[in-house]
Amino acid sequence: MRNRRQNAGARRSLAPLFEQAFDAATDVMMIADRRGLVVRTNHKADECFPNDCAIGLPLWNVLGLKCIDLDTAKAQLLDTRWALGAAERTYLCKSTNLLFDIRLVGIGKDERGSYLLVLHDITYLAAYHSQLQNQIRERTAVLERSQELLRTVFQGVGKGIVLVDEDLEIVECNQKACEIFGLNENNIVGTDIRSLCHEDNRPQLNELLVTLVEQEVVSRELTAVYFDKRTFPAVFTVSSVARDNKPLWIVITEDISEQKTLEQQLIAEKAATEEANIALRGVLKNLQNERYELTGRISRAIGNDIVPALQRLGHELKNEPHRQSLRYIEGLLVSLTSGTDSEIRPGVLRLSKTEVKICKYVQAGLGTKEICTVMNLSFDTIQTHRRNIRKKLGLSGSRETSLYAYLAGCKL
Amino acid sequence: MFKEVFDVVVVGSGFAGLAAAIEARLAGCTVLVIEKMRVPGGNSAISGGMIAVAASPLQAALGIVDTPEQLANDMFAAGKGLNDPRLLRVVTEGSAGALLWTQSYLGIQFIENLIHGGGHSVPRIYSISSSMGGSMGGGAAIIQAMLVKCRELGIVVRMRCTLKGLIQDESGRVIGVDVANFHCYPNSESGSREMLRAEKGVVLACGGFARDVGFRMTQDPRLTAEFESTNHPGATAEGLVVALKCGATPVHLSWIQLGPWTSADEKGWGVGALFSLLMGYSHGILVDATTGKRFINELTDRLSRTQHMAMAGRVPILIVGGEAAVEYPYLRQCLKRGVVKRYESIADLAENQAVSRETLERTIATYNDSVVSGTDAELGKPLNAQKRFLIAPPFFVVRLRPKVHYCNGGIQINEQSQVLNLETHQPIPGLYAAGEMAGGIHGACRISAMSTTECIVFGRLAGAGAAKEKLVGALVS
């Protein structure tokens, strides 16, 4: 246990150490007497106050405080309101451009008291602070620009946009939406989105919203209602996004009355055109029928009456040139029948009675063996007849066309 | 010269304009209503749609004694004696008829209770049943009913068509309007100009100019851009200026009213205003948060209320007890938007609203005693027999900030709604005006719900008057 005298002695022997510590400190340190005049500065202080220029001056002048006496200087420096970096508790050294935080400490007893001033370099803090402020300013400007852009797009889009919250209440809308429904913004915001469409369609809109999944975009044509209760056709396009775990629906609305009118006009025109088509088709059919009838009559006359008569005439003619002329006339008349349903195939006329009989059996689907049995002729005879028939009809050599196929639909 | 011809052209599609259009049409005229905005209804479509009536059926049923003279006296007192007594007589005596018209002709349903509004000596105010407007509000319900009638009667309501000028012949008679079609408000140069003929007359129902900072500051320099407004963005002075340039007489233009019910926590009229208007003032107390005390009779006229609220340093808040508040149908919305706040105890309220708890407790206790006794000795708030609500938990609080609301002044009209000339004081032939645009009825301060009444009474008079004008001969160019 040391007594007071020993403590005082210890302190006196440590005094040079304290002085060295004072001088070597990295902070600027100054000591002022009880009147507030600076009596001692440390080595670091030389940077700001070279050649001991601060000695003998009031501390409030040295530090550039707006004070005129010690009491106000003390009050200012000891005011707890001033946060680090506040002008009231900092000293800006003009020559080095360094910013210091001032800390005032009273030392010793009141009347004989002195003051210790510790000036801590906070230049870096100030620089950092202004850098942060710049960043905030820039980011705020960018944010404002994108908000402005969003606002412009939201309002400038040619369709109505309405944002709907989880209670199906409208929280925001653009001008076009107001115009489409004839409602002031105050009257749209806060109402149920379903009230914008006709009663009959409300369940549909409800379903549309409730069954929508995120990333899905669905459009539906519904009947909407204007402020004056007039209904009009509209398209509601819905998508959703999650906000704070609750759904936010984005509903885009479009008045398609004009479109619908055009659609109606098109449908009417189409119906009119179709009616005209049907009428025309009828007329065309009639004309075709008449033609078929006419040509049919001619063909039948040729096939049933004229050609047989010519053939009979041909049998009576002895003169070959006369018979040739007759065959020529036959050919011309036969060609008149082509394309009609009573078409006469030219070769058929040249067939003999037996050959015609065989053709009829072939047409009926009988094979050579069966024809042999029916006509009581040999296989070879039938085959020969078939060869001749093929030659007369102009089929010889072409293996593709069977006699049966050629004779199908032929009038014998 | 004239692109189209009508008998009557009405400028503006609010209560006054549509009422005028309907009456003119019923009298057999061809009518065009032009509206400068993209949607119809103006301020009327976002208003509460409440209508003040003197000597009404509901008053009789509820045993309230009232006369048109008493209403006129209330209006005169609030108007500081600046009101035109002849116009007061027309509007007060016509109030019952206006109510009947909205009920039987428009089919509007009102609730079976009367509200005691600011500036009125007795409960007089009819309010719309919530089944009508839904969450849109009473004014929207009335405008909707009027628009449906317009559609049925074949009245064309043309949007985005703004008045640029009145066309007068050499005698000064108004024979048509100069308009800009496909106008993009607020771009004043937009639209394509056209002249429309009005064979019988033009009715001006352009509303007020509460949103027109430039014009309102010429009349009252205190109303800088710092003051928000409850009005829609189109409440500006173009129509008024056109009328003034044609020789109309300006009256009371500097008496621009601030509304005492708007919330500091939302823009414009918002959802909080109706809460304060319907509930807050009649059943609650107005307290200065910095002192914890009441400072004015909550049911006095708006001018007094707003003047006291706007006094330096005051932070006005409205406190309503739970029993009264839950009767308000849109309370949930107000709470959802954070405009009305709910507190379970006075301590809670005091802490969150920065009010001294002890003072507030005393204020509330004193008020509750007044409610029970029926007399407010402190400030003279009328605590009528109707319904007595104590300020008891849970408490509902709105922070208020006055906003520019209504223009008491406008152009001078006579008892037939005709616009009077500045020099001759005689009617300008063929020109009528009604609604907020007409001045001289409310004087210095309009009392609650009298605007709807005024619009319908004078709107109908204007429409009927224009219809009776004789057709003029061919225009000599």
Q: What is the pLDDT of residues B76-131, one digit of tens each?
A: 999 999 999 999 999 999 999 999 999 999 999 999 999 888 899 999 999 998 77
Q: Which amino acid is at B83?
A: N
Tokens 């100030």 correspond to: A126
- Is B434 or A334 the better-scoring residue by pLDDT? B434
Give the closest of A178, A187, A195 to B38, CB-based: A178
CA separation for the pair B475, B469 (Å, rounded) = 16
CA separation for the pair A227, A168 (Å, rounded) = 19
Beta-carbon contacts of residue B388 (< 8 Å; ≥ 6 apart): B371, B372
Which superfamily is assigned to A4-121 in CATH? PAS domain (3.30.450.20)
Domains of chain B: 1-254+405-477 (3.50.50.60), 261-401 (3.90.700.10)
Residue A212 burial by Cβ neighbours in a 10 Å radius (0-12, 13-18, 19+): middle
Cβ pairs A/B, distance under 8 A: 57
Sheet holding B293-294, edge to edge: B293-294, B285-288, B316-320, B395-399, B340-343
In angstroms and rounded to an integer, the radius of gyration of the C-alpha atoms of chain B is 23
Average pLDDT over residues B21-33: 97
Each residue's pLDDT expressed in tens, for chain A with a length of 412 residues: 567 777 777 767 777 888 889 999 999 999 998 888 999 999 998 888 888 888 899 988 888 888 888 888 888 888 877 778 788 888 888 888 899 999 998 887 665 678 999 999 999 988 888 899 999 999 999 999 999 999 999 988 889 999 999 999 999 999 999 999 999 998 998 899 999 999 999 999 999 998 888 789 999 999 999 999 999 999 999 999 888 888 899 999 999 999 999 999 999 999 999 999 999 999 999 999 999 889 888 888 888 888 888 888 888 888 888 888 888 888 888 888 777 766 777 777 778 888 888 888 888 888 888 889 888 989 999 889 888 888 888 776 666 777 787 877 677 7
Cβ atoms < 10 Å from Cβ of B345: 12
Cβ of A178 under 8 Å from any chain B Cβ? yes
The rounded Cα A214 to chain-centroid distance in angstroms is 14
CA separation for the pair A279, B466 (Å, rounded) = 58
Q: Specify the CATH class of A347-412 in words.
A: mainly alpha
Cβ atoms < 10 Å from Cβ of B151: 15
CA separation for the pair B416, B29 (Å, rounded) = 18
B270: nearest CA in chain A? A186
- Is B399 or B278 the better-scoring residue by pLDDT? B399
User: What sign results for the dihedral spanned by CA atoms B148, B150, B154, B160?
Assistant: negative
CATH fold for the domain made of A157-255: Beta-Lactamase (3.30.450)
CATH code 3.30.450.20 region(s) in chain A: 4-121, 157-255
Residue closest to B140 by CA, chosen among A112, A184, A85: A184
| Beta strand segments in B132-264, E | 156-158, 162-168, 174-181, 192-204, 250-251, 256-259
What pLDDT sits at residue B472? 61
Most confident of B271-280, B282-291, B439-448: B439-448
Judged by CB atoms closer than 8 Å, whether chains meet at B38 and A183 is answered as no
For the cut 70, the answer to whether the pLDDT of residue B384 exceeds it is: no
Tokens 């015609």 correspond to: A356
What pLDDT sits at residue A330? 85
Q: How confident is the model at residue B477 (pLDDT cuts 50, 70, 90)?
A: very low
The mean-pLDDT minimum among A149-163, B184-198, B266-280 falls in B266-280
CB contacts, 8 Å: A190 with chain B: 135, 271, 333
- Is B196 or A312 the better-scoring residue by pLDDT? B196
- Which of B18, B35, B39 has the most A C-beta neighbours within 10 Å, making it the best mutation to test the interface with A? B39
Give me the active site residues of B, please.
Answer: 302
**3-class DSSP assignment, residue B287:** strand
Judged by CB atoms closer than 8 Å, whether chains meet at A184 and B137 is answered as no
Beta-carbon contacts of residue A411 (< 8 Å; ≥ 6 apart): A303, A342, A343, A344, A345, A348
- H or E stretch including A234? strand A231-243
DSSP label at residue A242: E
Q: What is the mean pLDDT of chain B?
A: 92
Residue closest to B67 by CA, chosen among B119, B19, B124: B124
What pLDDT sits at residue A394? 79
Alpha-carbon dihedral of residues B26, B32, B33, B36, nearest 10 degrees?
180
**Contacts within 8 Å (CB) and 24+ apart, B126-135:** B126/B50, B126/B51, B126/B52, B126/B53, B126/B56, B126/B58, B126/B99, B127/B48, B127/B49, B127/B50, B127/B278, B128/B49, B128/B50, B130/B329, B132/B108, B133/B49, B134/A191, B134/A195, B135/A190, B135/A191, B135/A192, B135/B330, B135/B333
CB contacts, 8 Å: B159 with chain A: 179
Judged by CB atoms closer than 8 Å, whether chains meet at B136 and A187 is answered as yes
Q: Are B29 and B7 in contact (CB under 8 A)?
A: yes
Numbered residues of chain B with Cβ closer than 8 Å to any chain A Cβ:
38-41, 45-46, 134-137, 140, 143-144, 147-148, 150-151, 157, 159, 232, 268-271, 333
Quickly list H helices, A157-256.
175-181, 185-188, 202-210
What pLDDT sits at residue B476? 41
Q: How many CA atoms lie within 13 A of B391 on its CB side?
A: 30
CATH code 1.10.10.10 region(s) in chain A: 347-412
CB contacts, 8 Å: B268 with chain A: 186
Beta-carbon contacts of residue A204 (< 8 Å; ≥ 6 apart): A220, A222
Beta-carbon contacts of residue A355 (< 8 Å; ≥ 6 apart): A385, A388, A389, A392
Q: Which residues pair with A29 in a beta bridge?
A: A118
What pLDDT sits at residue A110? 61
DSSP label at residue B345: S
CA separation for the pair A22, A15 (Å, rounded) = 11
